[in-house]
Amino acid sequence: MSIHCNAKKEDIEKTVLMPGDPLRSKYIAENFLENTRLVNTVRNMLAYTGTYKGKPVTVFSSGMGMPSMGIYSYELYKFYDVEKIIRIGSCGTYNRDIHLFDTILVDKSYTEGNFAYEWSKKEEHVIEASAELNDLIENTAKKLGINYVRGNAFCNDCFDGYLDHLDDFINNLPKDVLGCEMEAFALFYMAKYFGRQASCLLTVVDAYFQNKSITSDERERSLNEMITLALESI
C-alpha cells in the first residue's frame, strides 16, 4: 500500500480534486463539502472525503512540483483505484491575452523537464489531458455561465518568477502557452500510464504584463469559481 498516505482504501473516492496547498484542501472541505472527514495526515498533506450535492468526492493536496504530484497521483491511481483526478491550482501567465483571475482549462501540458525520461526512458515533453473529462468540464462551465479559456500550459521545474534569465524564458515559451505552473505534466503522465483520466483547472493569480495589485477578496472569489466548476463537473 501507499507509504505517503495513511487512508484506508475505502476512505478515498473514485474522483479526486487535487489542489497543491494542503490548507486549500481544508478550505474546500469546510466550505463546499458535507459529511467531511479527514482521511490523510501523513506529512500534513491533508486529504478529506465528503459529498458535494450528494456526490462522493475526495480532496487531496498534491504539494508543489512534478515530483510531489507524481508520487501522490501514482499512489491514488495504483493503490486506491482512483479513476479521475482534477488538479485545481493557480498559475502565472506571460500571455498578453490572458488576465488576472481568468480560469484556464488545460488541454496539453508542455515541459522541458525530464519527468517522462526518468519514468520510462522516453523523450516526451508534451502530454494531453483527458479529452472526455475536459469536454465535461467545458460543458459544465457553459451551463453555469462560468468564463474560462481552454488551451495549453507550460509545466516548469523551477519557479519562473525567481529566474535570473526571465526574459529569455518568456521569449522561448511556445506561443500557444496560456499559463505556467508546476504539476500538470506529472499528473497527466501518471493518468496515461495507468489508463485513467486527469484534467487541470488553473486560476491566473500573476499576470506579467498586467500592472495590478491583487486583493485577498478577489483571489478568493476567483478560486471559489474554479472550485465550484470542478465540483459541479463531477
pLDDT for the residue 214: 72
Lowest-pLDDT range of 15-24, 118-127, 202-211: 202-211
Q: pLDDT value at position 212?
A: 73
Measure the CA–CA gap between 79 and 83, rounded to whole angstroms. Answer: 11
Residue 85 predicted with pLDDT over 70: yes
Question: What dotted CATH number matches 9-233?
Answer: 3.40.50.1580
Residues across the chain = 234
Q: Is residue 87 within 8 Å of residue 130, measured between CB atoms?
A: no
Q: Where are the alpha helices (DSSP H) in the chain?
A: 22-32, 66-79, 115-120, 131-144, 166-172, 184-194, 216-233
pLDDT at 215: 76
- The fraction of the chain above a pLDDT of 70, given in percent, is 99
The set of cell numbers assigned to 67 is 515530483
Is the dihedral angle over the CA atoms 171, 164, 182, 59 positive or is it negative? Answer: negative
Task: Spell out the domain ranges in the chain.
Answer: 9-233
pLDDT on residue 221: 77
pLDDT in tens, 174-188: 999 999 999 999 999
The 10s digit of each residue's pLDDT in 35-82 is 999 999 999 999 999 999 999 999 999 999 999 999 999 999 999 999
pLDDT digits (tens, 9 = 90+) for 114-156: 999 999 999 999 999 999 999 999 999 999 999 999 999 999 9
Annotated active-site residue 206? The verdict is yes
pLDDT of 219 higher than 80? no
The total of other beta-carbon atoms located within 10 Å of residue 34's CB is: 10
Percent of the chain past pLDDT 90, that is, above it, reads 93
What is the Cα–Cα distance from 183 to 185, expressed in whole angstroms? 6
Contact 157, 111 (CB under 8 A): yes
Q: What are phi and psi of 153, to 5 degrees?
A: -135, 155
Q: How sure is the predictor about 213, in pLDDT bands with cuts at 50, 70 and 90? A: low
Catalytic residue among 11, 21, 107, 206: 206
| Per-residue model confidence (pLDDT) at position 141 | 98
Q: For the residues 99-117, what does the mean pLDDT come to?
A: 97
- Calculate the average pLDDT of the chain: 95
